[in-house]
Structure 1
Amino acid sequence: MNISVNGEKYELRKRATVDDLLVQLGLSSEKVMACAVDGMIVKKDEWTIFELSEGQKVELLNFVGGG
């Protein structure tokens, strides 16, 4: 299955959830603060059950402290 993550193309195994995507990308769900799929926010408590589909656009947001 092919999807776009933050503008870059990725290939995932079939039936991947948002949480599966994070694992494949080597990201911790504690560091990723928000996820949107095709412009709609996916609540963090749904990441383990929200299944991604072919061609979807995923945006992952990290918050960086600074000052």
Structure 2
Amino acid sequence: MKITVAGKVKEYEDGLNITQLIEKENVETPEYVTVSVNDEFVERADFEKALKDDDEVEFLYFMGGGR
């Protein structure tokens, strides 16, 4: 199946879930990443649900700081 990850179309095996995608993409500090699929935020409890062909996935980090 084809999934768009951070704007790049990539080929993955059917049945891949978000947790597996995080591992395959070597996401830095996965415990702090927020994931959106098709512009909707995904709860960590739902990371085990399978992705679908043509899904668009983004890995987001929210940083604190500033004044």
Shorter-chain TM-score above 0.5: yes
In which range does the TM-score fall when normalised by the shorter chain? 0.7 to 0.9
Unmatched tracts of structure 1, length 5 or more: none
> How far, CA to CA, are the matches of 1:52 and 1:3 in structure 2?
8
Note the aligned Cα RMSD (angstroms): 1.6
Unmatched tracts of structure 2, length 5 or more: none
> Which of these two proteins has the greater Rg computed from alpha carbons?
2
Scaled by the length of structure 2, the TM-score of the pair is: 0.80
How many matched pairs?
65
Matches within 5 A, 1:1-67: 1-27=1-27, 28-32=29-33, 34-47=34-47, 49-64=48-63, 67=66
- What is the letter of the counterpart of residue 50 of structure 1? K
